[in-house]
Chains A and B, each alone.
Chain A
């Protein structure tokens, strides 16, 4: 197990280098950040050259990349063009997005799995059909629609929660945005759990559990659910990365100054250090989440052993 983890961590190094270089290359090679800094006006050549020199932009792309990576390892993600260090931006944005992601994941786990079990046990019944239809609607309607609708209904009309989130973004204000963020994944978790449960209800070991005279709840939770959750866990695990990076729409709707917001601003302003810095961290989150899922796999299914 320990050796497996070390091997996986080592495998992350080339993936990390490759993906960061790709991001770096795209952001720096496809636009002129100095020109973007001046907006519509033509920059003074001398000033532009000075800025280029200060930002290490007068070197070759490879040299720039090495310079950037070297700085990352001492904790210097560069400076955003508004003068703030990118690290400070991250320090502000990531805690907020992590809280948002936690709320979303909790929704996925509790509501998604619960609905999945209920529908899986009652296939073809009205509950099942109703929930299935609902998940289909949720999956097909884009997040910005459901987001604005829920914001309007619960925030503006019913006033159950504030329609926009304050800068400190406490958990209680993140419940509605978290639900909006989770909604599509929640629908997938429901469907995945349902299929998995439906498949396993006919399994021989479930029949054995019934024949042993176990109470129904024990058969379902201990025998059926335990086996059915394996694919669901995989999905939720990989979803962590997606939720953290993909909250751009949700964060815009509810005015949350998290990772999605910063990324959006960075892209809009062609702010290379911000974009590359944030994406680099997201790549790491993805890689670690994947490792976590693989390890969790072995915990849930003893037939899987890593050497």
Chain B
């Protein structure tokens, strides 16, 4: 997994609440089992007009299609970002598109973990702070990148304001070191087997034969 340490990037404000994973990655765009190449489908229903027809074209209204946000690598979003379906395709699409971090007041729980597993940093900041950042960014998107420091756990805004955030320590280490969660847990295999032995005598009915 790609490590995350610091990131300086253009941010795009998408300040809508309850942005669901159907919106991030519509089901009809999931055409192969592969995780690769999904960026072209990101936000397909919003990014394109008449998607899938011969009249298909980019929706000029959608923020990621606007010239000054074309190179955005950070999203500013409303609360409950990534709610809905557990489809990891949504995160794979964001990563493939080039998004490195998402800042929102809260996240859907499954989506949050999916982000961590794929090197995409979910940052929780309060709604007011996000509005402030969005306003600063909007006045000059290209000249107002956000500086994200995971080591120090803070975001530096365009005006130099520093906004600290928290991330569970385990998740932070996973991202900083680019660890594979399965490798980490496999080191605990003996403890898992010991648990199973004890559990089997306590809940024998839970074990199928």
- Do A and B originate from a single complex? no
Interface, chain A (partner B; CB < 8 A): none
